[in-house]
Amino acid sequence: MLVLCVLQSSEAYFWATQSGAELDLLFFSGGQRFGVECKFNEAPKVTKSMHSALADLDLRHLWVIYPGATRYPAHEKITMLPLDGIGDLAAEVGRVMR
């Protein structure tokens, strides 16, 4: 994943709860917590796990990487990001932090 080129491997985490909620990538930038979830579905939905991650981890923002073609907001703190836009993730973090 290209995000790991920006992060040290010691700064990238997988998160899961005993009840089954999980987040594929948790990382920190500027003292804020961010998340990335990867979905194979062309039209992913916001899940209970995503809401759990937002609340439990106090995420500033969560991106869902998916194989579709359009970047779009799915929730106030969740953005669907096409796989070919993953190289823009650093810019996405910058936008959210402004």
The CA-based dihedral angle spanning residues 92, 93, 96, 98, taken in that order and rounded to the nearest 10 degrees: -110
Total count of domains within the chain: 1
Assigned domain for 1 exists: no
pTM across the whole model: 0.89
Of the two residues 40 and 9, the one the predictor is more confident about is 40
Domain span including residue 35: 7-97
d(CA 74, CA 63): 10
Assigned domain for 93 exists: yes
Q: What is the pLDDT of residue 55?
A: 96
Assigned domain for 40 exists: yes
- Give the amino acid at 23: L
Give how far Cα 61 sits from Cα of 42, 54, 88, 94, Å. 21, 8, 15, 11
Assigned domain for 2 exists: no
Question: pLDDT tens-digit profile of 22-78?
Answer: 999 999 988 899 999 999 999 999 999 999 999 999 999 999 999 999 999 999 999
Assigned domain for 61 exists: yes
Specify the CATH number for the domain of residue 65.
Answer: 3.40.1350
Assigned domain for 62 exists: yes
